Amino acid sequence: MPRPVIFDLYHTLIHGADDDRDRVVAEMASMVGVAPDALVAAYHRTWRERIVRWSVEDTIRILTARLGVHPTDEQVARAAEHRRVLVRRILGTVPAATLRTLDSLRAAGHPLALISNATSDTAEAWPHSPLAARFDVVVFSCEVGLAKPDPAVYRAATDRLGADPAHCLFVGDGADGELAGAAAAGLPTLRITELNDTDPLWPGPALAAIGDLPALLRMR
């Protein structure tokens, strides 16, 4: 069977849009009556809770309460939708080369999986992304309560694929220690630097462009 390939999402298949995320959170702050810088900082401090536990609305209510503000349900709903609009746009903006690569891999028979450290708004928007139909297995941290680099989240993907981790390939930019986590779970790794050179000290093999992946797999 052709080798299963497990991808990271942000900074690997699509841009992470970090600056846009901070801008939108700052705009959300104005909607709920807190200082923009304070809410942006609170979002950064609580990234782990947000990717494994909190909904968009939970995040807004918890963080504003910590900042001494209690917005109305209407304010929370407006701010949450503002965040969701951004995530839908990010997930809808996929480089054409990425889609061609995924289509090429699928045509060659490679099962495809995704593991993403993602908040609930990503999971909600995923079915409407052009990426969704191209994957056999999707594991979002917010849905399984596990996040990279925990080896268990990689095993969740390989178990759903019905594949031996050693026979798979994990492809990611390296954020959140994901390459080390994949290796600890027994997966060969490939660092990709096209959208972000996140983990330049990782000693394993690297690929500059996702479009080169099908040819690389044909050589292995």
The CA–CA distances, whole Å, from 119 to 58, 114, 146 equal: 11, 15, 12
Q: Let me know: does 116 contact 122? Beta carbons within 8 Å.
A: yes
Neighbours of 84 (CB within 10 A): 17
The CA–CA distances, whole Å, from 172 to 31, 63, 71, 134, 217 equal: 35, 30, 38, 17, 15
Q: Identify whether residues 148 and 50 lie together within a single domain.
A: no
| pLDDT score recorded for residue 209 | 95
| pLDDT score recorded for residue 219 | 81
Q: Identify whether residues 59 and 156 lie together within a single domain.
A: no
Domain boundary among 40, 66, 91: 91
| pLDDT score recorded for residue 1 | 79
Q: Identify whether residues 109 and 153 lie together within a single domain.
A: yes
Q: Identify whether residues 11 and 100 lie together within a single domain.
A: yes
| pLDDT score recorded for residue 85 | 98
Q: Let me know: does 6 contact 171? Beta carbons within 8 Å.
A: yes
| pLDDT score recorded for residue 12 | 97
User: Cβ neighbours of residue 23 under 8 Å, at least 6 residues apart?
Assistant: none
Low-confidence ranges of the chain (pLDDT < 70): none
What average pLDDT does the chain have?
A: 97
Write the CATH number for 186. 3.40.50.1000
State the residue range of the domain holding 50. Answer: 18-91
Over residues 42-80, the pLDDT tens digits come to 999 999 999 999 999 999 999 999 999 999 999 999 999
In the chain, the number of structural domains is: 2
| pLDDT score recorded for residue 42 | 98
